[in-house]
Structure 1
Amino acid sequence: MRILYLTQWFDPEPNILKGLAFVRALEAAGHQVTVVTGFPNYPTGRLYPGYRMGWRRREVIEGVEVVRLPLYPSHDASSLRRSLTFLSFFLSALAYGLLRRRRYDLAYVYHPPITVGLAAALAGWVRGLPFVLDVQDLWPDTIAATGMAGAGRLVGVLGVVCAFVHRRAAAIVVQSEGIRAALLARGVPAARLTTIRNWADLPAPSPDASQPSAEADPAVFTLAYGGNLGRAQGLETVIEAAALLQARRRDIAIVLHGEGVEAEPLRAQAVAAGVDIVRFEPRISPRAIVEVFTRADALLMSLADDPLFRITIPSKTQFYLAMGRPVVAAVAGEAAEILARSGAGLVAPPGDAAALAAAIEALADTPRARREAMGRAGQAYYRDHLSFERGVDRTLRVLEGTHAQERP
C-alpha cells in the first residue's frame, strides 16, 4: 500500500510521537510511506538551522522520504500568528494534495491541528483519496482550554470544520476512551472509531546514564520534568507547591527542562515567590532527557485543571512509565487512572498545590527500594498495555482494513 502520511510536525522537531520509528514500522510491514510535513520550527517558532523556507523540499531522514511544505512559523501567545501557522500549512497541504503527481492508496492524517485534516478531506474529495484521521486532541475543545487570545471567536468555526472532517474520514483513530465517547456523542459512527493508546518513543540512553551525575547530591530528592512549558501544563501549580515545600524542608529539588510560551511567566512566578528549589533548564535532545530522567529520583507530570484534560492522556504518561521511574502527577481522568493501575505513581488533583506538595513529600520520604519497585511496576504495565509494538499492530489493522473497504 502507498501511504501519504500528512502531519504538520515531524522529526527533527521534539516530542513527535508518530515520527521516524512509526513510519519505519509501517514500511517494515511492506508499505511505502511518504511523509508530507512542514518546515521544522516547533517549539520556538523559528526555522531550524540548515533549513530555508521554500515551496517544497524533499529529503531522506534515516531512510524515510520526507516532503516539506512552506508555512508561517510561529509558536507564541498570539492567536493571529498561531492561526497563520495553521492556515498557511493548510493551504500548502491542500495544494500538494490537489496538484500532486504521485498516486497514493491511502492517507494517514495526524491531528492536531484540524486544518491538516481539512486539507486531506478537501483534496481527498477531489482526488478520490480516502484518509484515516488520527485524533490526539479533541478540537475545538482544546483550543478553548488553552486560553489562547481570541480562541473564543474560533470555536464555532472550528466545530463546523471538525464535523466536516469527521464525516469525510474513512476511519478515525483516537488516543483515549474519553475522546472516543466525545466523538460518539457528536455523531461519529462507532464502526469508524478505534482507540489506540499512544506509546513512548524512547531512545536508548548512554551506557553510563544510570550512574548519578557528578553534581548530584545523594541527600536531595530530585524530581524531573521534560517537555513543553505551556498553558495546558498548568505548571504554575508546581511553583506554588514548591513554595510550600521550601518553607518546611530543603532536601527536594525540582528541575524543569523545556521551552514554551509560559517559560518566562513561570520564571517570574518563581522569583516573585522566592522559590529556589525549582531550576529551569533549556530543552535538550530526546536522548539527553532520557539520561536526565534515568538519574532522577522521580518524574513530574502536570496538566491544567480543565474538564477536557480528563479525557486526554498526555504522552508523558506512556513515556514516564516506559522509563521505569516513579511518578508524581497533578492530573485527573484517564491519565490518573492509568498511573493508579500501573502502581507507579502518586496522583494529586490538578490545580491543587497543597495536594501536589503532599504527594511530592510522600514520595520523597518513601524508601528508595519501594520507589524502585514502583518504577518497575510502571514499566511492566507499559510493556503489557501501551507498547510501541501493540500500537503499531493495531494501526496496521486499521490501515489495511480501511484500504480493503475503500478499494473499488
Structure 2
Amino acid sequence: MSRRSAVSQHRARRPRVVIATRLYTPEASAAAFRLEALARALEEQGADVKVLTTRPPRGVGGEARAGTPSRWPVLRDAQGQVRGYLSYLSFDVPLALRLILVRDMDALVIEPPPTTGAVGAVAAALRRLPFTFYAADVWSDATDSVEGVPGPVRRAVRLVETTVWKRAARVLTISPGVHRRVTELIGEHGQVMIGNGIDTDTFTPDGPGADEEADGSPPYFVYAGTVSEWQGADVFVDAFEQVRRTHPGTRLLFFSEGSGRDALEEMVRERGLEGVEFRSKVPPAEMARTLRGAVAGLSSITPGQGYEFALPTKIYAATACGTPVVHAGEGAANERIDANHLGWSSTYDADAVAASMRAALEGRGSPDPAHLRQWTIEHASLAGCAAKGAAEVLASLPQDGRGHG
C-alpha cells in the first residue's frame, strides 16, 4: 500500500470517542440519560463510542442503548448512589488507569464531579488529545450551599472545577444560567450552551397510565428526582398538609433519593401526615406512566443558595407527558414556566405552593396537554441537545480528524 493510500485510510477511520461517567444507563438519572443521548448522537454523526462507567446498582437491569460500556465496581451509599468523597474516589482512581490503557482514543468527554474532570484532564494531556467537559451543574456553587463543608474544601473544589474548564477544548453547558455562571468564573474558554431536555420518545402523553386519574383513582402529584439542600422538596410536604384539608383524597408521591429523603420521611412520620408515599427510583418508561396520570409534576429550588439559574429536568419529564408543573422557587425555572404556560410557579413558600396545587387540582389555568408536549419537543428534546453536543465534540478534533491517543 502506498503512503498516500495509508494516510487516506487512516483519515477515513471513524473517530473514537471515550465518555467517562460515573452514571450511565440503565441507571435512571438525568446524567445517565444525557450521556446515553450524547453517545447515540456521536454514533449517528460517525463516531465509535466507548463508555467508561460503573456497574449499575443492585436490582437495576437492562442494557444501554448506545455506546459500548466498560463497567467497573464502585462504592455506593445506602440508597445505591455514587455520592460522597469515598464514592467519587472509588470511581476516579481506577479511571486514571482505565484511561491510560484504553486504545485508539481520539477525544474524551468527562462528566462531573470535578475530581473526575481532573483525572480526565491529566489523561488527555498525557495522550495529547482534546477533551470536552459536560457542565450540567456548577459543583463548586453547590458545595458553597452545603453547611459544614470546610473552607479549604470549598476553595479546592472551586480551583479544580475552574482549572478543568479552562483546560477543556469545549465546555458544554445545559442552560443559559449555567453558561452565564461558567463564564463569570473563567471568562470565555470554549464553552457552548447546548441546552438540556428529556427523552421525548419515552416520556410521551400516550401509553399506559394516561387514564389513571380519570378512572376514579385518587388524584396525585409526583416529585421525581433527587432531594437535597438545594432542591428543598420539603416545601411540598408543608404545602400538601394544607391541601389535604380541602382535598382529603389527594396523594403526594416521591420517586426520590438523595441526602434529604430521610429527613422528609421523618417529617411525614412525625406529623402523621397521610397520603404521602415514598417510592424507589423506577425506569424511565415506568416514570412516564406515572406522570401521565398525575395532576402535576413537582419541581423546586431553594432560594438564596446560588442555584436560581437551574432548570430541573423533572420539569421537562412532566411536560413531555402532557402533564403541567407546579414549581416553587425563584429564577430561571419560574421564568420559563410562566413565559411558556407550562403550569404554575410561585415563590418558595408553603402557602403559595398550596395555592398552586389547589389550582392544579381544580383545573384553574391548566395548560393544554398538546401545547405542553409540542413545546417540549421544540425546546427541550434531549436528542436535539445531544446532537449539538456531539457536533461540538467532533469539531474539537484536530483537522485530520484524529487525536494522538
TM-score, normalising length: structure 2:
0.86
Amino acid corresponding to residue 270 of structure 1 in structure 2? V
- Closer, same or farther: CA 117–78 of 1 in aligned 2, 3 Å: closer
CA distance in 2, matches of 1:30, 1:78: 33
Amino acid corresponding to residue 19 of structure 2 in structure 1? Y
Percent of aligned positions with the same letter in both sequences?
A: 22
* Structure 1 match to 2:89: 87
Higher RCO (CA-CA < 8 Å; seq separation 6+): 2
Equivalences for residues 130-149 of structure 1 within 5 A: 130-147=130-147, 149=148
TM-score, normalising length: structure 1:
0.85
CA distance in 1, matches of 2:78, 2:154: 19
Range moving further from structure 2, 335-344 or 260-269 = 260-269
Residue 29 (str. 1) matches residue 45 (str. 2): yes
The aligned length equals 384
Aligned partner (choices 250, 253, 259) of residue 252 of structure 1 = 250
Q: Please say if residues 224 and 256 of structure 2, whose CA atoms lie closer than 8 Å, have aligned partners that are also in contact.
A: yes
Q: Cα RMSD over matched residues?
A: 2.8
- Corresponding residue SS for 2:307: helix
- Corresponding residue SS for 1:276: coil
Note the alpha carbon deviations across 1:191-215, whole angstroms, 9 max, x for none. x01111111025267843323279x
Note the alpha carbon deviations across 1:264-316, whole angstroms, 9 max, x for none. 32122112223213222332221111111111122111222344221121111
Note the alpha carbon deviations across 1:219-248, whole angstroms, 9 max, x for none. x44212222233332121111111222334
Amino acid corresponding to residue 144 of structure 1 in structure 2? D
Residue 385 (str. 1) matches residue 382 (str. 2): no
- Corresponding residue SS for 1:247: helix
Gaps of 5+ in 1: 42-46, 51-58
* Structure 1 match to 2:170: 171
- Closer, same or farther: CA 78–180 of 1 in aligned 2, 3 Å: closer
CA distance in 1, matches of 2:66, 2:306: 38
Equivalences for residues 7-406 of structure 1 within 5 A: 7-15=21-29, 16-41=32-57, 47-48=58-59, 61-62=64-65, 64-74=67-77, 82-98=84-100, 100-111=101-112, 113-147=113-147, 149-150=148-149, 152-189=151-188, 192-202=190-200, 203=202, 207-212=207-212, 217=216, 220-350=218-348, 352-366=349-363, 371=366, 373=368, 375-404=369-398
CA distance in 2, matches of 1:40, 1:338: 34
Note the alpha carbon deviations across 1:107-135, whole angstroms, 9 max, x for none. 11122x11111111111111112101110
- Corresponding residue SS for 2:49: strand
* Structure 1 match to 2:7: none
Range moving further from structure 2, 328-337 or 127-136 = 328-337
Give the Å deviation of 1:327. 1.1
Give the Å deviation of 1:153. 4.5
Q: Please say if residues 326 and 345 of structure 1, whose CA atoms lie closer than 8 Å, have aligned partners that are also in contact.
A: yes
CA distance in 1, matches of 2:150, 2:288: 35
Amino acid corresponding to residue 120 of structure 1 in structure 2? G
CA distance in 2, matches of 1:72, 1:255: 28
Q: Please say if residues 296 and 325 of structure 2, whose CA atoms lie closer than 8 Å, have aligned partners that are also in contact.
A: yes
CA distance in 1, matches of 2:390, 2:128: 21
Amino acid corresponding to residue 159 of structure 2 in structure 1? V
- Closer, same or farther: CA 26–280 of 1 in aligned 2, 3 Å: same
* Structure 1 match to 2:12: none
- Closer, same or farther: CA 18–270 of 1 in aligned 2, 3 Å: same
CA distance in 2, matches of 1:248, 1:211: 24
